[in-house]
Structure 1
Amino acid sequence: MLPPSSPALASRLRVCFVAAPLMARSGVYRSTLDLVAEARSRGLDWSAVVGLRAAAAGVSSPAAGVREVEVLQHGLGVVDEVAQLLLDSPEVREADVVVTLVTQSDVAAARLRSPLGPAWVAWVRGLPWPAQGEQTLLRRHVLRLVETRALRAAADVWATTPVLADAVAAARRPELVPAGVPAAPRLSRGEASGRLVWAARLDVDKRPRAFADLVAATGVPGAMYGHGPLEAELRREAPAGLSVRGWADPAALWTDAAVFVGTASREAFGRSAVEAALAGVPVVLGDAYGAAPLLVTDDELRRRFVLPVDDPRPWATAVRDLVSDADLRRWLSDHVHANASTLTIGRSVDAVLARLGHLGRVGQGAA
């Protein structure tokens, strides 16, 4: 049982993050490594266990305090495998607080509520059940019920964005503990006008075809970064002016970028958008984009550049307006850069520590 906590005591807690299974070394993977690295640089005793599929895309990045394991099972069996991983991991056994980062880890931790005690937190990093059309109605209902029960068993539940918090509120109202990206130099003040950038997994929910259509409609050249199941098709069908480039070093994405475009219909946080904004690149985002209300807080800018995902017309207008108006690009660049500066990985560590300071008063959860 954790003692009543405080900010000072929170800094002494041994914290272990668990994310299993991950299908790719992308957003959650990179954020976990960044979080542990920042914490350990401050002398905090934080670690992570990351479970990856054998075919997980991306390059492994060995880091102090982070252990990668392979996850083999699928379906219901993966929950049993992750539960055993929790029981067998010395990092988990030695931790004062265990923080799970993906749905299957939440459900596995809920099964082990007695061994983990009140020191288990579910940090929701993505919508924890399938969206409409992604699974059958019955399977969606079952998965939502199982994850709802898991969230209600946790000592505390966090979400990275207001959009995500609202999406899971029916199961359990989470506390807002934002994710973050590494601090980086500002590269732009809106000077560039000639290249659109899109960066995400090339899959249906990220809507890469909408970006391809936008390039075709506006005539503004575009660069698409990422891998995924739609990659070969997009390379074949790319309109004139669009290059499909795979992944690249983040710094290379923003050099000479005029506008970052985030078309996703389902984006819990949106690391690439935050990285772009931190570099000073203006952004145009869908209204389902998790980071949108954190990056674009001015009413007029929100109306013009946080757009409905089901209507392509305002997207073309937004891009044309930005490409043709240097003052508008500068205004949006300054605005999103200032907001992104509050979404660094250092600020995320601060937010975790602040919330850990409440754990002793949270009690056994809201089951």
Structure 2
Amino acid sequence: MPSSAPSPAAGGSRSAPRVLLVAAPLMARSGVYRSTHDLVAEARGRGLDWRAVVGLRPTARGTVATTPGVREVTVRAHGRAVVDEVAGLVTSAPEADAADVVVTLVTQSDVALARLRRHGSTPWVAWVRGLPWPAPGEQARLRRVALRLVEGRALRGADDVWATTPVLADEVARARRPHLVPAGIRLSARSSWGEAATPLVWAARFDVDKRPAAFVELAARAGVPGRLHGQGPLEDRLRASLPDGVTMPGWVDPARLWDDAGLFVGTASREAFGRSAVEAAAAGVPVLLGDSYGAAPLLVTDPDLRRRFVLPVGEPDRWLSAVRDLTADRALRRTVSDHVAANASLLSVGASVDAVVDRLSRLGITAAAR
């Protein structure tokens, strides 16, 4: 069934390629979901013909977005069968027939497009926005090796591979050296100048690599209120053992997530970009991040601030000291707030679209005659 989205606004270049973003399957309406909607909205606002097909799990939660040019479908298959379902989704999509280039945003979509290469010649780019294989300890060794082999083979078959941060690029380079095309967010107005010391705020998927329990322990040791936003497999276990002062209100409208936040604390041991950290920084909320955050070197560029507030995840006493320093010192919070807000202003969705347009031009991908 053809997309009911209106045609893009007049003013786009006739040579600009028609871009299709594919993101399937997504477990939640969070980072990649929101980024996909933002990218399409920004591009179409410039008169560019960008569209997206987003495949969501039936259980996906989060705020539903409605964007012209973005079509959402349900993806039900699991295991190896999900790749077949995603491949079928692409081959049956009218948006794919009209596209000059397909850009995949998640691992299963990469593998599906690699399988479809023999069926057509539309250029395909894998835009790696999350770590594409499990880290040691996250899954059984044989499964980790198998997943790395499958995704690595897929990436080597793409016409181009992009990564959103230098941290992620170093990881992806194990399979193929990517080109850096930064992610971006739709920047909201700054609402904080470091006035509030608390609550500590955490926002991510409740999973092992995001380390929500470390946040709970940190808030309890510091004796300050904390709040976790998200969903995921560890949710019930966390909720059953929350200490006084720490709450789990679930996801809220992103526009309200940082309204009363004191500090954003990102405890993840693996975070390819860190959209929530960038959103918090853009709002002016001081951030304390693990050193594996892809966005950390982009947000915290001052060497002294980086030493104090971008920390190894295995050193909980340093995290506790950082929280105590920030909650006790309003002038320090203002310094960090100003610093990260200025750096986050460079990570806009507009800058991300600019980078995509520039890279596609350098690759020689333009609109084909129809």
Structure 1 length as normaliser, TM-score?
A: 0.93
1:120 matched to which residue of 2? 124
Matched, 1:89 2:59: no
Question: What is the root-mean-square deviation in Å for CA atoms of aligned residues?
Answer: 1.6
Counterpart for residue 209 of structure 1: 213
Q: Which moved more, 1:72-81 or 1:113-122?
A: 113-122
1:162 paired to 2:166: yes
**Does structure 2 conserve the Cα–Cα contact (< 8 Å) formed by 1:80 and 1:108?**
yes
Looking at structure 1, the residues matched to 324 and 121 of structure 2 have their Cα atoms a distance apart, in angstroms, of: 55
Q: Hey, what's the Cα distance between the residues in 2 that align with 1:115 and 1:275?
A: 40
Gaps of 5+ in 2: 1-11, 366-370
More deviation in 90-99 or 190-199? 190-199
Q: Deviations over 1:254-313 (max 9, x none)?
A: 123221000011111111100000000110000111111111111111110000111211
Q: Is the 8 A contact 2:63 2:252 kept in 1?
A: no
Q: Which whole-Å deviations, capped at 9, do the CAs of 1:144-193 have from their partners, x for residues lacking one?
A: 11111111111111111111111111101111111111121011111212
Pairwise CA distance, 1:229: 2.2
For residues 174-193 of structure 1, the aligned pairs below 5 Å read 174-193=178-197
The offset of 1:115, in angstroms, is: 3.6
Structure 2: how far apart are the matches of 1:40 and 1:255?
Answer: 29
Shift in CA distance, 323/176, structure 1 to aligned 2, threshold 3 Å: same
Give secondary structure in 1 for the equivalent of 2:346.
Answer: coil
Give identity over the alignment, percent.
Answer: 68
Indicate conservation of the 8 Å contact 1:109/1:116, yes or no: no
Q: Which residue of 1 aligns with 2:340?
A: 336
Deviation at 1:134, TM superposition (A): 2.4
**Separation in 2, partners of 1:183, 1:144:** 34
Aligned with residue 251 of structure 1, among 236, 252, 255: 255
Counterparts of 1:202 and 1:138 in 2: how far apart (Å)? 24
Q: Tell me the equivalent position of 1:4.
A: none
- Is 1:273 the counterpart of 2:277? The answer is yes
| Normalised TM-score (structure 2) | 0.92
Q: Where does 1:344-363 land on structure 2 (aligned, <5 Å)?
A: 344-360=348-364
Q: 1:9–1:169: structure 2 CA closer, same or farther, 3 Å change rule?
A: farther
* Counterparts of 2:299 and 2:338, CA distance in 1: 11
Q: Structure 1 residues 64, 9: CA separation in 2 closer, same or farther (over 3 Å shift)?
A: closer
Q: Which residue of 1 aligns with 2:5?
A: none
On the 8 A contact 1:160/1:269 being kept in 2, the answer is: yes
Highest RCO, 1 vs 2 (Cα 8 Å, sep ≥ 6): 1
1:118, distance to aligned residue in structure 2 (A): 5.9
Is 1:79 the counterpart of 2:83? The answer is yes
Equivalent residue runs for 1:213-224 within 5 Å = 213-224=217-228
Report the more deviating stretch, 248-257 or 13-22.
248-257
Query: Cα 1:234–1:322, aligned 2, differ >3 Å: closer, same or farther?
Result: same
Matches for 1:105-116 after TM superposition, within 5 Å: 105-116=109-120
SS of residue in 2 equivalent to 1:19: strand
Q: Assess if the C-alpha contact under 8 Å between 1:15 and 1:46 holds in 2.
A: yes
Q: Which residue of 1 aligns with 2:106?
A: 102
CA–CA separation in structure 1 for the residues paired with 2:227 and 2:78? 35
Q: CA deviation at 1:68?
A: 1.1
Match of 1:297 among 294, 297, 301: 301
Tell me how far 1:15 sits from its aligned partner.
0.1
Deviations 1:6-64 (A, max 9, x none): xx969621000001111111111111011101111111100001111222222432321
Q: 2:18 aligns with which of 14, 17, 25?
A: 14
